[in-house]
Structures are given as structure tokens and as C-alpha cells.
Amino acid sequence: MILEGKKILVCICGGIAAYKINHLIRDFVKKGAEVQALLTPAAEDFVSKLTISTLSKKPVYSQFYSENGTWNNHVELALWADVMLVAPCTANTLAKMVHGICDNLVIASYLSTKCPVFIAPAMDLDMYQHPSTKQNLELAEDYGHFIIPAETGELASGLIGQGRMAEPETIASEIEKFFNSSFSHQLHGKTVLITAGPTYEAIDPVRFIGNHSSGKMGFSLAEEASKRGAKVILITGPSAQITSNKNIEIHRVTSAKEMFDQVFKHYDQADIAIASAAVADYAPKEVAREKIKKNDDSLTIELVKNPDILKTMGERKTKQFLAGFALETENELENAKAKLIRKNLDMIVLNSLKDEGAGFKTATNKITILTPSEINEFPLKNKSEVAKDILDFIASQILK
């Protein structure tokens, strides 16, 4: 049994969905897992410590000190766990987790833990849609946590929408999937090189030519490859994206030439290379030493071609499985196919700016994966889900 002997730290927050956790804990224990439950102070109004400790066969903690004055050591609890699950995760606890507001035992344990963290949010639909919740979920993903998205249905408020905590069976199966060594070791021993973000090509000391790439797609790919056991080398242009994932070796560059140099410092060791960066095709021939003054009515800047990093990767390919991206605005399939062949790629991920919610900056993307012999279309999804589709596809190609 996959969960046999696994240590699961279940952190319960104050939301109505907390009543479902009893079933989940029972299921974990039946499957051979050891469960230690922690409650936020608000969760005590929703669940009974007696029920949970009976099901988990362990005392349940909600405060830093127990009634007899002993310290409930959050560091020990955090280091004991093989995985931590926060369910239901309220908007409040989510915000405290990602911003480090450490005012209860659950957050102190979370901040002390080194194990993978699963988050099953639950809240009313407007809270779930709120930009701050969305941003906090994105931050949690950037930290490398596994989000089990809320489901759509009738909510405690009587409203209908997305916000219901995923069903206990879904949560259990996500955690089982993680422990299933064929997934978490799928890319074990492989090195994945990923380019991300835009490049900035200097015009003068204050101006540059750039583009709208946020780096989100590339960072999501890096997190997903790491979750599958790969060593990840991420080379990113200027991006506000961050990662605290220690398995991702990150190199930050500015221009296409710098990206080229970094890529080819690491390319030989890569088994898989994914070029999601939006690299500037041209750069100013000369970079003015001083800020250009607006003396004339017009200004001409001569541009010269940048090196094509992906094309060079294709030329220097030895063992690498090479995946490129194509960002198109017209004749999408034809253009993507032409790039696939011209750059000697094994596959190309097409995203079109004509599709709403696809491409730059958005949290979502809509892709079509092309190989020399097939075309696979995917629906609009969150970029972390898109990253899963891309890596599933790559795994199916290299592991067949």
C-alpha cells in the first residue's frame, strides 16, 4: 500500500469543510499512514479534538502549550512529517502561510517544515476569486507547494460556485500519487534545462527593448520538473517570479546574449531542454553610453539579430530531448511546424495571442503540442496545470 508507514501532518483550519477531514484521517490510517493532526484556534469550533484523536490514534494539538504545561514542539512536528496537508485551508491561513505571519501552531509548524506541502483551499466563491486569494495561491505554487484546487458546487452560504474543498477521496489520491514512486521519481536522474522570461536589450543606460513575458510559464515548468525528481537548471531573463525550491538551480540574466552564454554553460549536461523564454530577436547595434536626449523629432535605432538560442541548441543536440515554444499571432500551426523543423526540435508548444487567457502574463495558457508526427490540443488551464501537461507529454516521449 502506497501510504503504508507514511507520516502525514494534517493541519485543519476553521472552515465548514473541516467536518470532512474525519473521513480523510480515517482513510489515511486505514491505508497504513501515521497521522498527526494540528488545529488552528478557529478549527476548534468546527471539529472535535476527541473525534480526531480517536481516529488518528494520537493527541491533537492546537496551541504551543498543552494543558499540562508541556511544549508542543512545532519544529519536531514539522520535521517528523513526510508530507504536510493543510485542509481545509482558509483564506486567512493561506495568507498567513505565504506571508509568514506566525501566530499559531499550524503556521509555526508550516514555516519549520522541509517536507512537501499540500494545500486544499475551501472558502466562499467570492473569497476564492478575490485577487488576493489568487495571488496567495500563486505564491504558494511558486514556493513549490501542491495545490488541490477547490471544486465547484453548492457552498455553505447557499451560493453556487468554486470554493468547495476537494472531496477527501481526491485529496487522498493526490497524496498517493505523490508517494507513488513512478511519479515522484519519473525524471529522477535527469537534468532539465529551462529558459524563462523575457530578455531586455539595452538602448542606453535607462532604456531597453523587451516584451511582456512574466516568466510564469517557465517557473511553473521548473517547479513541475522538480516535483518529478529532476535536477532543474532554470535560466531566466528579468522576472519578478521567485522560487524557494532548493532543487532548482536558478541563473538570472538580462539580455539574449547573456541567456545564450548561460544556456551553453549547462546544455551539455541536460537530458531535456525546454525553451519557454521570449527572447528578443533583435538588439540595438550600439548601446549609448549616456541617456539619449530628445533633441530630434525622430530617432532611429539600428537593430542587429540576436543569436537564436533554441536553433543553436537544435544544432548542438546530442542526447537532449528538445522542446521549444512558439508564440504566434497568425498562421499559428504552419509557423509552429516550420519552427519545429527549422530548429531541429523534438516538440514545440504553440500558444496563440488570439486565444483569450493564453500567452504572456496571464495565470493561464492554452497550448497545442506539435511533434513531427502529431498535434495535440489542450484546453485553457492554469499555467501550473499546463506545465503538468507538457511534462506528461515529454515523459511519454522519452520513457516510451
Q: Which of 361, 375, 379, 399 binds ligand PMT (CB under 6 A)?
A: 361
The three three-digit cell numbers of residue 51, written as one number: 473525534
Of 39-47, 103-111, 272-280, 372-380, the segment contacting ligand PMT by CB under 6 A is: 272-280
Nearer residue to ligand PMT within complex by CB, 85 or 367? 367
Q: How far is CA 24 from the centre of its chain?
A: 25
Contacts of 14 (CB under 8 A, 6+ apart): 40, 41, 42, 43, 44, 45, 46, 90, 92
Residue in the structure block whose three cell numbers are 505565504:
98
Q: Which of 73, 92, 211, 335 is catalytic?
A: 211
> By rule CB under 6 A, what string of x and - marks binding of each residue 339-358 to ligand PMT?
x-----------x-------
Nearer residue to ligand PMT within complex by CB, 52 or 350? 350
Of 26-34, 143-151, 163-171, 324-332, the segment contacting ligand PMT by CB under 6 A is: 324-332
Residue in the structure block whose three cell numbers are 512529517:
81
359 contacts ligand PMT (rule: CB under 6 A): yes
The CB-of-199 to ligand PMT minimum distance in angstroms stands at 8
CA distance 106 to 112: 10
The residues that bridge with 209 in the sheet, in sequence order, are: 201
- Residues in region 244-263 near ligand PMT by CB under 6 A: 256
Which among 104, 93, 97, 101 has a CA at the least distance from the CA of 14? 93
Contact 147, 136 (CB under 8 A): no
The CB-of-96 to ligand PMT minimum distance in angstroms stands at 27
Task: State how beta strands 347-352 and 367-370 pair.
Answer: antiparallel
Element (H, E) at 312: helix 309-315
Which among 213, 374, 176, 187 has a CA at the least distance from the CA of 270? 187
Number of helices followed by number of strands (H, E) in the chain: 14, 21
Nearer residue to ligand PMT within complex by CB, 105 or 349? 349
310 contacts ligand PMT (rule: CB under 6 A): yes
Nearer residue to ligand PMT within complex by CB, 8 or 370? 370
CA distance 270 to 230: 10
Q: Find the distance separating the first CA and the last CA of the chain, reported in whole Å.
A: 26
The CB-of-249 to ligand PMT minimum distance in angstroms stands at 19
Q: Which of 80, 183, 360, 378 binds ligand PMT (CB under 6 A)?
A: 360
214 contacts ligand PMT (rule: CB under 6 A): yes
344 counts as catalytic: no
265 contacts ligand PMT (rule: CB under 6 A): no
CA distance 84 to 93: 14
Of 150-158, 321-329, 368-376, 387-395, the segment contacting ligand PMT by CB under 6 A is: 321-329
Give the binding-site size for ligand PMT (rule: CB under 6 A). Answer: 27
CA distance 9 to 80: 8
316 contacts ligand PMT (rule: CB under 6 A): no
Cβ neighbours of 132 (radius 10 Å):
11
Q: What type of residue is 123? A: M
Of 75-83, 170-178, 183-191, 322-330, the segment contacting ligand PMT by CB under 6 A is: 322-330
Return residues touching ligand PMT (CB under 6 A): 195, 197, 213-217, 256, 275-279, 281, 306, 308-310, 324-327, 339, 351, 359-361
Q: What residues are labeled active site?
A: 211
